[in-house]
Amino acid sequence: MSIGFEREEKSSVGTLTNIPAKVILYNDDWHTFEEVIYQLIKAIKCDLETAQQLTWEVHNKGKAVVFEGDFEEALKVANILEEIDLSVEIYI
């Protein structure tokens, strides 16, 4: 996982808190559609149709924003997607 910084905000103790973040999922040639769909449902708790749409977007465009929310939750989502070695990036 890599983290791209569009801007950096730090609290007084130097940690990233309450920062909006995006998780980007990248296409690859070794995971099946079913694997990606299942992992998206697990990671972002979406329905089957949403997971299918996101998977097609990743396939056709090479990447897709699959989550937008706070940084802490984005880390959780990225970690779940990485459980099966999907390629993700977090932008804040």
DSSP secondary structure string for all residues of 25-85: EE--SSS-HHHHHHHHHHHH---HHHHHHHHHHHHHHSEEEEEEEEHHHHHHHHHHHHTTT
Quick one: pLDDT band at residue 13, thresholds 50, 70, 90?
very low
User: Tens digit of pLDDT for each residue in 56-74?
Assistant: 999 999 999 999 999 999 9
Percent pLDDT > 90 in the chain is 80
What is the model's pTM? 0.83
Please state the domain extents for the chain.
29-84
User: Per-residue b/e over 43-58, b at no fewer than 16 CB within 10 Å?
Assistant: bbebeeeebbebbebb
CA distance 20 to 74: 9
Specify the higher pLDDT residue, 27 or 10: 27
